[in-house]
Structure 1
Amino acid sequence: MKNLVFVVICFYASLFSFAQDKEKLFTIDSHSYYTDEFLRVYNKNLDLVKDDSQKDLDKYLELFLGYKLKVEKAYKLGLQNDQKYISELASYRSQLAKNYLNDTKVTNALIEEAYDRMKNEVKASHILIMVDESAKPEDTLKAYNKILDLKKRVDKGENFDNIAAQYSEDPSAKENKGDLGYFSAFRMVYAFENAAFNTPIGKVSKPFRTRFGYHILKVVDKRENRGEVTVAHIMILKNKEAAEGKEKQTIEDIYKKIKQGESFESLANQFSEDKSSALKGGLLQRFGSGQLTSPEFENISFSLTDKNQISEPFQSQFGWHIVKLIEKHPVQTLEEVKYELENKVRRDERSLLITNSLAKKVRGKYTFVADETVLNKIKKAVTKEYYANNWTIPVDGNEIKGQIAIINNDQIINAEDFMKFLFSQQKNGAKTEPISKLVDEQFEKWSDEKLIEYYDNNLESEFSEFKFVMDEYRDGLLLFDLMDKEIWTKAKTDTIGLSEFYNDHKNDYMWKKRLDVDLLSSTDEKTIEKARKYLKKGKSLEYIKEKLNLDDKVNIIEKSGVFEEDSDVLPEFKVKSKGVTNIVSKDNYFFVANVKEVKEAQPKKMEECKGKLVSDYQQYLENNWVSELKKEFSVKVDQDVFNKVKRQLSK
């Protein structure tokens, strides 16, 4: 919900910042807002608006005022000081900054590498020893030594799968022995992907680290990428309460009807218990290897070779399926997927490589002046204990405190900063000698990091569009927290207010007329006539199916439940009361229904419409809330300036 609402918030927020000549349009208490923001609202969305009434400037002003009132309320409540908000804003900034910390040459190389890998799939198993990225050096070393010991045991001939099941800290390893199945590019974190594609079949990788910890992996197989596939399916869900074998019998009955020539799509619509696809004739979105949680389903789908070919019934961990092949999609050309790959590269850990390539660029952009005297003192303070990860920062080194560098003549960096960096880097096991040369190498690395950090910290002044988007995020996050506090949480927890709202509006939440029915269908009219006679005599559904489904042939199938009167085929019956209906036909099928109860239209109970009710109550609270905010804050609109905006936009 948060992601969806945040997108909406940012859509509105993105309307509210643009650099133009500006005049004060209105104030909220002592805070002024200007015409440039309002003009950006209107101009940016002009082409998106279909209804001319939505172009009304007075309505836009009301929207803008309402938005800014909510943001003002958030600041008044101090939500900007919440640590969670501060952290989340920093996280969003970090993500956004990646789009600006880019190198085209490196990006293109990563795209080509990803495409080459996309053409293949790797089957691998792994062993994981977990360690946090920010773990203490001793904990990191402990994890590394543990994975190294497991690697040595595998190298000596112990079974990889058994070691994975016994020692891997991947929660699923106990059951799957570390097996990850087949995967291609972008399915795993980048370091893991590198190890998988660079390790030969049958070999075990060297230990490597990801954000999850240390791994070793064994490559079991490599094959050409099967591409993607589009299928439709009929699914009968696993049901612990159903009689043993009922799901299998049902799917086999449906399969027999398919073999008898009945429409796959019609049967999916009637009987598939995957509600998200049933109304579309069982059609699923296209997928590739490793994208579903059911390898059985994937393998059956890819095993079908001819368009419209239908599988036999098979079982997965979710239930029973029949799959129909709609289309196979081979791997696209680089030109066809280049844009998509570029977006994935920017969102992936690969983007770190792009960011690091900025070092040369920023060295040419900014000045970095080091104090060689202070640097030489640091060199003397670093001893050979550094190689053994035993060096500590001198506590009495007053002579190496103070400034060690200045960036672009405006940011001073103190020696303590570099000393802490040196201390943190010794765990990486640097071997360069003499020690003075090692310090020079670390100083060069640290300088690059500081220059990139300086560039990153000044993106708002370097790029006006970056500043606009950050302003949007800042207000959008505040508004989300405010809405959650003032509206969404209240709507879910205010049981008295929700109940009163329901009582005032219960006629907005009505059940249509509903029928409790047993619905029988067949492609043969004589069969359905026999079924109707049995229903009239009060025979059970089991009895009817036993009498009519003869010689291992499914002539009739049933569907029971409480349905609204306009569902599926029910409108054809024109039901007035309980009892057995006449026979109707639709889409090459004949139907008869036994109506066990007719439930007249009536308001839904609160628990039956809770989702829609809470949503409507939230909207009700928000509408009233904006009115209350206008009373809480002093709002003054300069009508002369607003009229000038209207004249400007009417030209």
Structure 2
Amino acid sequence: MKISRLLVFVFLITPYFLLAQTKEVLFSIDNNPYYTDEFVRVYKKNLDLVKDDSQKDLDKYLELFIGYKLKVEKANKLGLQNGNNYQNELKSYRNQLSKNYLNDSKVTNELIQEAYDRLQQEVRASHILVLVDEGASPADTLKAYQKITAIKKRLDAGEDFITVAQQTSEDPSVKENNGDLGYFSAFRMVYPFENAAYHTPVGQVSKPFRTRFGYHLVKVADKRANRGEVTVAHIMLLKQDENGPKEKAKSTIDAIYQKIQQGESFESLAQQFSEDKSSASKGGILQRFGSGQLSSEEFENVAFGLKERQQISAPFETQFGWHIVKLIEKHPVGSLSEMKSELEDKIKRDERSLLITNSLAKKLRSKYDVNKNLTLLSKVKSVVNDKFYNQTWEVPAKNNQLEGVVLTLNKVKKVNSKVFLDYISSSQKGNIKTKPISRLVDELFEKFTDEQVLAYYNDNLENEFPEFRYVMDEYRDGLLLFDLMEKEIWNRAKNDTLALNTYFQDNIKNYQWKKRLQADILSSTDLKIIEKAQKFLKKGKSLDYIKAELNKDGKVNIISKSGLYEIDADVLSQFNNLSKGVSSIVSKDNYYFVVHVIDEKPSGNKELSETKGRVISDYQQYLENHWVDELKKEFSIKVNQDVFLKVKNQLSK
């Protein structure tokens, strides 16, 4: 599901559920009616969400609503509702939305409690993996199981876990980590692996267990109280490539650390020098994280090792480069009430959600009228044989005795035996070993019935839950609108190069370079130091010379950076009438700055290639602003003013 689709129209935000009300035709487009109940529901849903007060005005809101429906009508007229991508996107979203209804609250709450209890601890574990696909043949599965069992016997006999892991584990990372996975907590591993890790005592090795990756053995090295999460800021200098000066990053990070020790602002230095572009503009602040969430255990340990807010680490090295870290805040594990919603969301996305759906199936069986055709089921059993176990059984050719309805739900949904026979055939990949074969068929039929019950429930969510129907109706329209805008607006703006160039030339005043300067910017917290630097610049001294003269006795008194800047970029906006040569001195945020302007580039028109992304965006907005006017000419619109007046009166109460 593309996130951009969610942003198509403000009507498609959080559902609002409305009491039943009289349904009348509010307006029509080419004789297709649109009713008051939908208009009122959508208006109320968005009343507190729209930022523009004009959109709360009912007359203007009606115009917006009609414009929206005009676009949907246009999409239907073009047949976009029949497109494969549209159908697949709608199906995908419905599948996602329906997960909120495939829930058993009792089992969910038990899983929430289990997850919360586990979150109190972090486990450090190593593992040995023998790979085997979920749908592997019985022979391959047995071979893998025998291999993991043999490995377990070696460990039980006292062999060293690391040595055995290096020799036998099929996890590619074993060469680098000896099977050590570091510390982790709930939701960091697949559920069966998590279960084994938390159920195995420290110092012991688990029994062999299977995940979707294969068979595992887990050795638990340690269990400790969960460190929670931490928010830090950092200054990072990337490692130099093999051809670069190896000591440059180290000497620079040491110089920055020295300036911090001298009392200079961590945030300002991060903005000026950190090479982590995603955090530098925010003073180096990173998103909060917990153990095992970053790719560097060294970084995590330094971050969690800081005790007091605002405490700053010494420079340290990771595989990514050199860092200085500042502690912003520690976030201990919250209370169960605080975390319940978050844990429930994680459970729904996790393997343990299968426990919930299986429980729901049992409840739905008691709710629905489930009728099994046992006579026909007996005939099905008679044609399934032991070839199933080696995955060579095939559904018999047309057989009148096997035809008929094998399962009926609520006297409405009738499931043909052919569907069950195909289900049996596809189940051969699951390596099910239940014997005798009649018992295996009974086992499969119970699973098949659960799936059919859940599918019937899922298919009827619109009938059982009005709010589900509302959301699906709105997304159905919204996805159509997205496809229409892609076709009529976005692609047109990108692909019609002649029209785009015409728009660009007509609006060239909006695409101008400001005056640009090739310049060196020098900064210091000491006015006397920056004055000396200014004098050196005026004498034509190089940056290396200036740093050598002014950064003495172990102190970093001055730092510089160079580049091509627009006249108002960065600190340059603080200067008046910058031109070639050495500037005056200005101060900002406890720093003093001087600039050496090496070259100037005058203001002027940008080339289309230099600003094409922005021009395309502006042209798309221009096309969209004029789109509804074109649609009003294409379609016939009739508004029932008497009904609209009733709606106004109703909503004003």
**Shared fold by TM > 0.5?**
yes
Map of 2:564 onto structure 1: 562
Aligned counterpart for 1:471 among listed residues 473, 481, 491: 473
Q: Deviations over 1:316-335 (max 9, x none)?
A: 34332111122222222222
Q: Secondary structure at the match of 1:159?
A: helix
Superposed counterparts of 1:21-170, under 5 Å: 21-49=22-50, 51-122=52-123, 123-125=125-127, 127=129, 129=131, 131=133, 139=136, 141=138, 144=141, 147-148=144-145, 151-152=148-149, 154-155=151-152, 156=154, 159-164=164-169, 167-168=170-171
Q: Provide closer, same or farther for how the CA distance between residues 490 and 159 of structure 1 changes in structure 2, counting only shifts above 3 A.
A: farther
The percent identity for this pair of structures is 58
Structure 1: distance between partners of 2:259 and 2:9: 50
| 1:105 to partner: Cα distance | 0.7
Structure 2: distance between partners of 1:127 and 1:506: 62
Contact 2:310/2:327 (<8 A) preserved: yes
Q: Deviations over 1:403-458 (max 9, x none)?
A: 22321111222222222333334554555555444433333332222222211111
Q: Deviations over 1:288-308 (max 9, x none)?
A: 122223333222212223332
Q: Provide closer, same or farther for how the CA distance between residues 143 and 525 of structure 1 changes in structure 2, counting only shifts above 3 A.
A: farther
Residue identity opposite 1:523 in structure 2: T
Q: Which stretch shifts more, 529-538 or 111-120?
A: 111-120
| 1:521 to partner: Cα distance | 1.7
Superposed counterparts of 1:289-328, under 5 Å: 289-328=291-330
Map of 2:231 onto structure 1: 230
Q: Provide closer, same or farther for how the CA distance between residues 302 and 162 of structure 1 changes in structure 2, counting only shifts above 3 A.
A: farther
Residue identity opposite 1:550 in structure 2: K
Q: Deviations over 1:171-202 (max 9, x none)?
A: x6776676544332222343443344345556
Residue identity opposite 2:45 in structure 1: K
Q: Secondary structure at the match of 2:395?
A: coil
Consecutive unaligned residues of structure 2, counting only runs of 5 or more, are none
Superposed counterparts of 1:400-419, under 5 Å: 400-419=402-421
Contact 1:515/1:599 (<8 A) preserved: yes
Map of 2:531 onto structure 1: 529
Structure 2: distance between partners of 1:298 and 1:412: 57
| 1:205 to partner: Cα distance | 5.7
Map of 2:350 onto structure 1: 348
Q: Which stretch shifts more, 581-590 or 244-253?
A: 581-590
Q: Deviations over 1:357-396 (max 9, x none)?
A: 1122212211112223222323333345545555443336
Contact 1:148/1:207 (<8 A) preserved: no
Q: Which stretch shifts more, 534-543 or 606-615?
A: 606-615
Map of 1:481 onto structure 2: 483
Q: Secondary structure at the match of 1:550?
A: coil
Q: Provide closer, same or farther for how the CA distance between residues 442 and 242 of structure 1 changes in structure 2, counting only shifts above 3 A.
A: closer
Q: Which stretch shifts more, 233-242 or 488-497?
A: 233-242
Q: Secondary structure at the match of 1:308?
A: coil
| 1:44 to partner: Cα distance | 1.6
| 1:232 to partner: Cα distance | 1.2
Map of 1:373 onto structure 2: 375
Aligned counterpart for 2:553 among listed residues 538, 547, 551: 551
Map of 1:507 onto structure 2: 509
Map of 1:398 onto structure 2: 400
Q: Secondary structure at the match of 1:48?
A: coil
Q: Which stretch shifts more, 559-568 or 119-128?
A: 119-128
Q: Provide closer, same or farther for how the CA distance between residues 493 and 162 of structure 1 changes in structure 2, counting only shifts above 3 A.
A: farther
Map of 2:582 onto structure 1: 580
Q: Secondary structure at the match of 2:311?
A: coil
| 1:614 to partner: Cα distance | 2.0
Q: Provide closer, same or farther for how the CA distance between residues 455 and 521 of structure 1 changes in structure 2, counting only shifts above 3 A.
A: same
Map of 1:364 onto structure 2: 366
Residue identity opposite 2:557 in structure 1: N
Structure 1: distance between partners of 2:217 and 2:631: 59
Structure 2: distance between partners of 1:499 and 1:177: 59
Map of 2:336 onto structure 1: 334
| 1:345 to partner: Cα distance | 1.6
Aligned counterpart for 1:647 among listed residues 630, 646, 649: 649
Residue identity opposite 1:221 in structure 2: A
| 1:254 to partner: Cα distance | 0.6
Residue identity opposite 1:628 in structure 2: E
Q: Deviations over 1:605-637 (max 9, x none)?
A: 333333322221211222233333333333333
Q: Deviations over 1:218-268 (max 9, x none)?
A: 445343222111111112234548544322221111111122232222322
Contact 2:131/2:215 (<8 A) preserved: yes
Q: Secondary structure at the match of 2:326?
A: strand
TM-score by length of 2: 0.89
Contact 1:129/1:146 (<8 A) preserved: no
Q: Provide closer, same or farther for how the CA distance between residues 51 and 498 of structure 1 changes in structure 2, counting only shifts above 3 A.
A: closer
Does 1:216 find its partner at 2:216? yes
Residue identity opposite 1:12 in structure 2: L
Q: Deviations over 1:513-567 (max 9, x none)?
A: 4433212122222222221111010010011111111233212111222333334
Residue identity opposite 1:535 in structure 2: L
| 1:13 to partner: Cα distance | 7.1
Map of 1:185 onto structure 2: 186
Q: Secondary structure at the match of 1:486?
A: helix
Aligned counterpart for 1:274 among listed residues 253, 273, 276: 276
Residue identity opposite 2:629 in structure 1: S
Residue identity opposite 2:289 in structure 1: F
| 1:110 to partner: Cα distance | 0.7
Residue identity opposite 1:62 in structure 2: E
Structure 1: distance between partners of 2:413 and 2:615: 55
Consecutive unaligned residues of structure 1, counting only runs of 5 or more, are none
Contact 2:5/2:478 (<8 A) preserved: no
Q: Provide closer, same or farther for how the CA distance between residues 376 and 576 of structure 1 changes in structure 2, counting only shifts above 3 A.
A: closer
Map of 1:6 onto structure 2: 6
Structure 1: distance between partners of 2:636 and 2:139: 61
Structure 2: distance between partners of 1:446 and 1:372: 14
Contact 1:513/1:600 (<8 A) preserved: yes
Q: Secondary structure at the match of 1:413?
A: strand
Q: Deviations over 1:472-526 (max 9, x none)?
A: 2222222222222322233233332222222222222334444332121222222
Map of 2:444 onto structure 1: 442
Contact 2:8/2:481 (<8 A) preserved: no
Residue identity opposite 2:276 in structure 1: D
Residue identity opposite 1:537 in structure 2: K
Contact 1:150/1:163 (<8 A) preserved: no
Structure 2: distance between partners of 1:220 and 1:485: 56
Structure 1: distance between partners of 2:11 and 2:244: 48
CA RMSD of aligned residues (A): 3.0
Residue identity opposite 2:6 in structure 1: F
TM-score by length of 1: 0.89
Contact 2:138/2:431 (<8 A) preserved: no
Structure 1: distance between partners of 2:453 and 2:128: 38
Contact 1:126/1:179 (<8 A) preserved: no
| 1:215 to partner: Cα distance | 4.8
Residue identity opposite 2:596 in structure 1: N
User: Aligned pairs, how many?
Assistant: 640
Contact 2:16/2:45 (<8 A) preserved: no
Q: Provide closer, same or farther for how the CA distance between residues 408 and 426 of structure 1 changes in structure 2, counting only shifts above 3 A.
A: same
Contact 1:379/1:436 (<8 A) preserved: yes
Map of 2:591 onto structure 1: 589
